[in-house]
Amino acid sequence: MDNFGSTRSAMIVGAGVAGLTAATALARKGWQVEIAEASPYRATAGWGLCLTGPSLRALDVLGLADACSAAGYGMSVITHVDVDGTPSDQVDLPRLIGAQRPAMVGIARPELHRILHAEAERCGVVVRNGLTVTAVDQQGDLVDVRLSDGTDRQVTLLVGADGIRSSVRDLMGLETPVDYLGQMVWRALVPRPEWATGIHQFAGKVNTAGLVPISSNRAYVFLTENGVPPNVLPDSELASRLADLLTAFPGRVTEIRPLVSASGSVVRRPVHTAFLTGAWNRGNCVVIGDAAHAPAPQMASGAALAIEDGLVLAEELERHETVGTGIEAFVERRAQRCRTLVATSVTIAGLEQAQRHSEAYPLVDACHRQMAQPV
């Protein structure tokens, strides 16, 4: 049966990278889109992230790559530094959006979200904060959705873009384990040192660290702490604890350490991964982004997969007669790429923990080149 004879309406759960980009892509193809976002706040807190080539390529399709570049810091080289503090090699990343534009962009998360929000709303998407979905029931070609404010919607498509702990995935009965990889990742916002014009990655005897510029005057320091339980530390201790962990690194990290001690913005998060090995949908309900495939952050590519998902979903729904067949084509196009990235990120995390950095770097490089292939 043709679902597209009348209004095409979508409810998206989660206004993260996946939800906002899927909403924009669908709205541009004529869908009426509403987003239910659990957080009562419009702004996203947090550290920066790296938009790699595939992220920029997908954002460019939405016309947003240059806005992200302007709000962030464009760069094209990763410098790997050995445990003794000497640079071991430099990797030139492929420039997927043209030789004159950067291979990747470091950006503060609130800046990225501001850009994605503004574009979604410009396209007519309605974003409701402080709202979630409590029940889902498919009736024929329509999905009945009950929201946490007691109101109901009947839509042609429900998209769960609510992250690694997706409650939409649970409501759909799609079970997947969320694995803890034995690592905690740290991020600290610091002033950008002048020499930091690309990503630096520092191998350590126990942990790995690095620096990513996110604007002309700001950067974030990252550190991956190996072999620790996923415990929570008081916020007041984070800056000094991270500075302590950085004492093990020689070379340029000694310049970064005092910046971290003085940073007012330090976060520490457990490295979790998840991948839905079976179906990503039940009828006209589908999960995308981290809700379907959450890699470890080592490949800096979770946002790329999330943005690509939104574009491919909108494209396949446009191409197919029914929402069901469009969703099937979407999953068919996405599953292998996402599985490869999640699996590779898990392998890299293992190599880091085993101090096998010389094996991890080429794997990261090879995976970036694989991700550079067309979606």
- Binding residues vs ligand FAD (CB under 6 A): 13-19, 36-39, 49-50, 55, 132, 161-163, 167, 185, 187, 269, 289-291, 297, 300-304, 306
Bridge partners (DSSP) of residue 145 are 136, 153
The smaller minimum CB distance to ligand FAD, of residues 83 and 288, is found at 288
223 vs 323, which CB is nearer to ligand FAD?
223
CB of 85 to ligand FAD, least distance (A): 24
Residue 96 has a CB neighbour count (10 Å cut-off) of 21
Q: Choose between 36 and 259: whose C-beta lies nearer to ligand FAD.
A: 36
Pairing of strands 218-226, 208-213: antiparallel
Residues pairing with 279 in the sheet: none
* Contact of 303 with 51, CB cutoff 8 Å: yes
| Shortest Cβ 28–ligand FAD spacing (Å) | 18
Closest contact distance (angstroms) between CB of 293 and ligand FAD is: 9
Give the nearest distance from C-beta 350 to ligand FAD in angstroms: 18
Dist. CA 67–CA 59, nearest whole Å? 9
Nearest to 224 by CA among 51, 343, 360, 366: 360
Q: Are 258 and 240 in contact (CB under 8 A)?
A: no
Give the C-alpha separation, 242 to 287, whole Å: 35
Residue with Cβ nearer ligand FAD (3 or 15): 15
Per the CB < 8 A criterion, the answer to whether 91 and 365 are in contact is yes
Q: Which is nearer to ligand FAD, 3 or 161 (CB)?
A: 161
Tokens of 61: 């399709």
Report the nearest approach of ligand FAD to the CB of residue 148 (Å).
8
User: Is residue 20 a contact partner of residue 84, using CB atoms and an 8 Å limit?
Assistant: no
In the complex, the smallest distance separating the C-beta of residue 363 from ligand FAD, rounded to whole angstroms, is 17
Going by C-alpha positions, the residue among 297, 87, 81, 90 that lies closest to residue 184 is 297
| Identity of the residue, 81 or 294, whose beta carbon is nearer to ligand FAD in the bound complex | 294
* Per-residue buried b or exposed e for 224-244, using 16+ beta carbons within 10 Å of the residue's own CB: bbbeeeeeeeeeeebbebbbe
For residues 3 and 207, which CB has a smaller minimum distance to ligand FAD in the complex?
Answer: 207
Kindly state the smallest distance separating residue 227's Cβ from ligand FAD, in Å.
18
Q: Which residues, in sequence order, are bridge partners of residue 226?
A: 183
